[in-house]
Amino acid sequence: MNENSTAPDILTRLFGLTDRVAVVTGASSGLGLGFAEVLAEAGATVYAAARRLDRLTALAERHPRIVPVRCDVTDDADRKALVDRCYGQSGRLDVLVNNAGRPGPPHAEEETADGFADLLAVNLTAGFHLAVRAAERLPEGRHASIINISSVIGLVSTAPIGGASYAASKAGVLGLTRELAGQWGRRGIRVNAVVPGWFDTEMTDGLFSNDKSAAWVRRNTMLARGGEPGEIDGAVLFLASDASSFMTGHTMVVDGGWTAR
Protein backbone atom coordinates (compact mmCIF):
# COMPACT_ATOMS: atom_id res chain seq x y z
CA MET A 1 0.00 0.00 0.00
CA ASN A 2 1.25 3.49 -0.85
CA GLU A 3 2.27 5.17 2.40
CA ASN A 4 0.85 8.43 1.04
CA SER A 5 -2.62 6.90 0.59
CA THR A 6 -5.29 8.11 2.96
CA ALA A 7 -8.14 6.15 4.45
CA PRO A 8 -10.76 8.03 2.40
CA ASP A 9 -8.85 7.21 -0.82
CA ILE A 10 -8.80 3.52 0.02
CA LEU A 11 -12.46 3.47 1.01
CA THR A 12 -13.48 5.24 -2.18
CA ARG A 13 -11.47 2.80 -4.31
CA LEU A 14 -12.95 -0.24 -2.59
CA PHE A 15 -16.48 0.86 -1.74
CA GLY A 16 -17.24 3.91 -3.88
CA LEU A 17 -20.14 3.62 -6.33
CA THR A 18 -19.84 6.94 -8.13
CA ASP A 19 -21.33 6.85 -11.66
CA ARG A 20 -22.95 3.46 -11.03
CA VAL A 21 -26.64 2.69 -11.20
CA ALA A 22 -28.50 0.43 -8.79
CA VAL A 23 -32.00 -0.96 -8.41
CA VAL A 24 -33.35 -1.89 -4.98
CA THR A 25 -36.74 -3.58 -4.80
CA GLY A 26 -38.90 -3.45 -1.71
CA ALA A 27 -37.30 -0.10 -0.95
CA SER A 28 -40.25 1.68 0.66
CA SER A 29 -39.52 0.43 4.18
CA GLY A 30 -37.40 -1.84 6.37
CA LEU A 31 -34.12 -3.27 5.17
CA GLY A 32 -34.74 -2.26 1.55
CA LEU A 33 -35.00 1.41 2.49
CA GLY A 34 -31.64 1.15 4.25
CA PHE A 35 -30.07 -0.56 1.23
CA ALA A 36 -31.24 2.22 -1.07
CA GLU A 37 -29.85 4.86 1.29
CA VAL A 38 -26.42 3.29 1.73
CA LEU A 39 -25.91 2.73 -2.00
CA ALA A 40 -26.92 6.31 -2.72
CA GLU A 41 -24.61 7.61 -0.01
CA ALA A 42 -21.77 5.64 -1.63
CA GLY A 43 -22.38 7.59 -4.84
CA ALA A 44 -24.75 5.43 -6.89
CA THR A 45 -27.91 6.57 -8.62
CA VAL A 46 -30.50 4.30 -7.01
CA TYR A 47 -33.83 3.39 -8.56
CA ALA A 48 -35.86 2.60 -5.46
CA ALA A 49 -38.73 0.33 -6.45
CA ALA A 50 -41.85 -0.68 -4.51
CA ARG A 51 -45.62 -0.46 -4.71
CA ARG A 52 -45.93 2.40 -2.19
CA LEU A 53 -44.87 5.37 -4.30
CA ASP A 54 -45.65 7.92 -1.58
CA ARG A 55 -43.01 6.39 0.69
CA LEU A 56 -40.48 6.22 -2.13
CA THR A 57 -41.11 9.87 -2.97
CA ALA A 58 -40.46 10.86 0.63
CA LEU A 59 -37.24 8.83 0.54
CA ALA A 60 -36.13 10.54 -2.66
CA GLU A 61 -36.74 13.96 -1.12
CA ARG A 62 -34.11 13.12 1.50
CA HIS A 63 -31.63 11.64 -0.98
CA PRO A 64 -31.18 13.39 -4.35
CA ARG A 65 -29.55 10.32 -5.94
CA ILE A 66 -32.61 8.15 -5.27
CA VAL A 67 -35.20 7.85 -8.04
CA PRO A 68 -38.63 6.59 -6.89
CA VAL A 69 -40.28 4.00 -9.15
CA ARG A 70 -43.63 2.39 -8.48
CA CYS A 71 -43.21 -1.29 -9.30
CA ASP A 72 -45.07 -4.48 -8.51
CA VAL A 73 -42.27 -7.02 -8.89
CA THR A 74 -44.77 -9.80 -9.66
CA ASP A 75 -45.91 -7.93 -12.79
CA ASP A 76 -43.69 -8.62 -15.80
CA ALA A 77 -44.65 -5.32 -17.42
CA ASP A 78 -43.53 -3.46 -14.29
CA ARG A 79 -40.25 -5.39 -14.17
CA LYS A 80 -39.54 -4.56 -17.82
CA ALA A 81 -40.46 -0.91 -17.29
CA LEU A 82 -38.09 -0.70 -14.30
CA VAL A 83 -35.09 -2.04 -16.22
CA ASP A 84 -35.99 0.02 -19.30
CA ARG A 85 -36.17 3.17 -17.20
CA CYS A 86 -32.68 2.58 -15.82
CA TYR A 87 -31.23 2.21 -19.29
CA GLY A 88 -33.36 4.97 -20.77
CA GLN A 89 -32.41 7.55 -18.12
CA SER A 90 -28.97 6.40 -16.98
CA GLY A 91 -27.74 4.14 -19.79
CA ARG A 92 -26.72 1.32 -17.46
CA LEU A 93 -27.59 -0.97 -14.56
CA ASP A 94 -24.67 -2.07 -12.40
CA VAL A 95 -26.28 -3.36 -9.19
CA LEU A 96 -29.56 -5.17 -8.59
CA VAL A 97 -30.73 -5.83 -5.03
CA ASN A 98 -33.64 -8.29 -5.04
CA ASN A 99 -35.11 -7.44 -1.66
CA ALA A 100 -38.89 -7.36 -2.16
CA GLY A 101 -40.70 -9.99 -0.13
CA ARG A 102 -43.40 -10.71 2.39
CA PRO A 103 -44.07 -13.24 5.17
CA GLY A 104 -46.54 -16.10 5.10
CA PRO A 105 -48.60 -17.91 7.73
CA PRO A 106 -46.51 -19.57 10.47
CA HIS A 107 -48.29 -22.94 10.41
CA ALA A 108 -48.22 -25.33 7.47
CA GLU A 109 -51.88 -26.24 7.98
CA GLU A 110 -52.80 -22.61 7.31
CA GLU A 111 -51.14 -22.57 3.88
CA THR A 112 -53.39 -22.71 0.84
CA ALA A 113 -52.26 -23.73 -2.63
CA ASP A 114 -52.87 -20.25 -4.01
CA GLY A 115 -51.31 -18.54 -1.02
CA PHE A 116 -48.18 -20.69 -1.25
CA ALA A 117 -47.83 -19.93 -4.96
CA ASP A 118 -48.45 -16.21 -4.45
CA LEU A 119 -45.75 -15.95 -1.78
CA LEU A 120 -43.18 -17.72 -3.97
CA ALA A 121 -44.13 -15.36 -6.80
CA VAL A 122 -43.07 -12.37 -4.68
CA ASN A 123 -40.14 -13.78 -2.73
CA LEU A 124 -38.49 -16.00 -5.34
CA THR A 125 -39.91 -15.93 -8.85
CA ALA A 126 -40.01 -12.14 -9.24
CA GLY A 127 -36.35 -11.77 -8.34
CA PHE A 128 -35.39 -14.44 -10.85
CA HIS A 129 -37.22 -12.74 -13.72
CA LEU A 130 -35.87 -9.31 -12.78
CA ALA A 131 -32.33 -10.71 -12.69
CA VAL A 132 -32.83 -12.24 -16.15
CA ARG A 133 -34.09 -8.93 -17.54
CA ALA A 134 -31.09 -7.13 -16.07
CA ALA A 135 -28.66 -9.73 -17.43
CA GLU A 136 -30.22 -9.61 -20.90
CA ARG A 137 -29.69 -5.85 -21.13
CA LEU A 138 -26.10 -5.87 -19.86
CA PRO A 139 -23.74 -4.88 -22.71
CA GLU A 140 -20.87 -7.24 -23.51
CA GLY A 141 -17.80 -6.40 -21.44
CA ARG A 142 -19.76 -4.64 -18.69
CA HIS A 143 -19.76 -6.10 -15.17
CA ALA A 144 -22.69 -6.19 -12.76
CA SER A 145 -23.55 -7.36 -9.24
CA ILE A 146 -26.84 -9.03 -8.32
CA ILE A 147 -27.59 -9.32 -4.61
CA ASN A 148 -30.44 -11.56 -3.51
CA ILE A 149 -31.84 -11.08 -0.01
CA SER A 150 -32.67 -14.36 1.72
CA SER A 151 -33.25 -15.08 5.44
CA VAL A 152 -32.05 -17.29 8.25
CA ILE A 153 -35.38 -19.04 7.74
CA GLY A 154 -33.97 -20.23 4.43
CA LEU A 155 -31.05 -21.90 6.24
CA VAL A 156 -32.51 -23.36 9.43
CA SER A 157 -35.89 -24.02 10.97
CA THR A 158 -37.07 -21.17 13.17
CA ALA A 159 -40.31 -22.81 14.28
CA PRO A 160 -42.62 -21.65 15.74
CA ILE A 161 -41.78 -18.46 13.82
CA GLY A 162 -41.27 -18.65 10.07
CA GLY A 163 -43.62 -20.60 7.86
CA ALA A 164 -43.35 -23.27 5.18
CA SER A 165 -43.89 -21.07 2.14
CA TYR A 166 -41.53 -18.41 3.44
CA ALA A 167 -38.83 -20.97 4.26
CA ALA A 168 -39.20 -22.57 0.84
CA SER A 169 -38.94 -19.21 -0.91
CA LYS A 170 -35.85 -18.10 0.99
CA ALA A 171 -34.09 -21.45 0.60
CA GLY A 172 -34.90 -21.20 -3.09
CA VAL A 173 -33.22 -17.80 -3.24
CA LEU A 174 -29.96 -19.40 -2.09
CA GLY A 175 -30.11 -22.17 -4.68
CA LEU A 176 -30.99 -19.66 -7.38
CA THR A 177 -28.06 -17.47 -6.33
CA ARG A 178 -25.56 -20.30 -6.78
CA GLU A 179 -27.01 -21.36 -10.13
CA LEU A 180 -27.11 -17.89 -11.65
CA ALA A 181 -23.57 -17.24 -10.40
CA GLY A 182 -22.45 -20.36 -12.25
CA GLN A 183 -24.29 -19.51 -15.44
CA TRP A 184 -23.30 -15.85 -15.63
CA GLY A 185 -19.85 -15.70 -14.06
CA ARG A 186 -17.98 -15.69 -17.36
CA ARG A 187 -20.09 -12.76 -18.48
CA GLY A 188 -18.86 -10.68 -15.54
CA ILE A 189 -22.13 -10.88 -13.61
CA ARG A 190 -21.59 -11.68 -9.95
CA VAL A 191 -24.54 -13.11 -8.02
CA ASN A 192 -24.44 -13.31 -4.23
CA ALA A 193 -26.92 -13.58 -1.38
CA VAL A 194 -27.29 -11.85 1.96
CA VAL A 195 -28.98 -13.69 4.83
CA PRO A 196 -30.34 -11.32 7.48
CA GLY A 197 -31.01 -12.46 11.01
CA TRP A 198 -33.69 -10.89 13.17
CA PHE A 199 -34.22 -7.17 12.58
CA ASP A 200 -37.09 -5.01 13.84
CA THR A 201 -38.95 -4.21 10.60
CA GLU A 202 -42.46 -4.45 9.17
CA MET A 203 -41.67 -8.05 8.25
CA THR A 204 -41.12 -8.93 11.92
CA ASP A 205 -43.92 -6.77 13.30
CA GLY A 206 -44.53 -7.64 16.96
CA LEU A 207 -41.45 -9.83 17.36
CA PHE A 208 -39.49 -7.34 19.44
CA SER A 209 -42.42 -5.67 21.18
CA ASN A 210 -43.49 -8.99 22.68
CA ASP A 211 -41.43 -9.88 25.75
CA LYS A 212 -41.57 -13.63 25.10
CA SER A 213 -40.50 -13.51 21.44
CA ALA A 214 -37.88 -10.81 22.08
CA ALA A 215 -36.38 -13.01 24.81
CA TRP A 216 -36.41 -15.93 22.37
CA VAL A 217 -34.31 -13.89 19.92
CA ARG A 218 -31.85 -12.83 22.62
CA ARG A 219 -31.55 -16.35 24.00
CA ASN A 220 -30.80 -17.94 20.62
CA THR A 221 -28.52 -15.26 19.16
CA MET A 222 -24.83 -15.37 20.10
CA LEU A 223 -24.71 -11.59 20.43
CA ALA A 224 -27.82 -11.81 22.63
CA ARG A 225 -29.82 -9.23 20.67
CA GLY A 226 -31.51 -8.50 17.37
CA GLY A 227 -29.89 -6.53 14.61
CA GLU A 228 -29.74 -2.75 14.90
CA PRO A 229 -30.68 -0.38 12.04
CA GLY A 230 -27.86 -0.22 9.52
CA GLU A 231 -26.03 -3.33 10.70
CA ILE A 232 -26.74 -5.20 7.47
CA ASP A 233 -26.21 -2.28 5.08
CA GLY A 234 -22.44 -2.81 5.00
CA ALA A 235 -22.86 -6.33 3.64
CA VAL A 236 -24.94 -5.07 0.72
CA LEU A 237 -22.50 -2.21 0.03
CA PHE A 238 -19.60 -4.68 0.12
CA LEU A 239 -21.24 -7.00 -2.42
CA ALA A 240 -22.27 -4.09 -4.63
CA SER A 241 -18.77 -2.61 -4.73
CA ASP A 242 -15.35 -3.52 -6.09
CA ALA A 243 -14.36 -4.65 -2.59
CA SER A 244 -16.04 -7.98 -3.43
CA SER A 245 -14.96 -8.20 -7.08
CA PHE A 246 -13.72 -11.81 -6.70
CA MET A 247 -16.82 -13.09 -4.92
CA THR A 248 -19.75 -14.83 -6.56
CA GLY A 249 -22.14 -17.62 -5.60
CA HIS A 250 -21.57 -16.69 -1.97
CA THR A 251 -24.05 -16.54 0.91
CA MET A 252 -23.19 -13.82 3.43
CA VAL A 253 -24.90 -14.40 6.77
CA VAL A 254 -25.52 -11.34 8.98
CA ASP A 255 -27.39 -12.83 11.93
CA GLY A 256 -25.46 -12.17 15.14
CA GLY A 257 -24.50 -15.84 15.28
CA TRP A 258 -28.04 -17.23 15.07
CA THR A 259 -27.24 -20.00 12.56
CA ALA A 260 -23.83 -20.82 14.10
CA ARG A 261 -25.23 -21.93 17.45
Q: Give the C-alpha separation, 115 to 121, whole Å.
A: 10
Q: Which residue is catalytic, options 15, 35, 116, 166?
A: 166
E strand map for 4-143: 21-25, 45-50, 66-70, 95-98
Residue (of 74, 102, 251) closest to 177 by Cα position: 251
- In the residue annotation, 166 being an active-site residue is answered as yes
Of the candidates 201, 180, 209, 210, the one whose C-alpha atom is nearest the C-alpha of residue 192 is 180
**DSSP letter (8 states) at residue 26:** S
CB 103 within 8 A of CB 170: no
> Does an H or E element contain 146, and which?
strand 144-149
Catalytic residues: 166
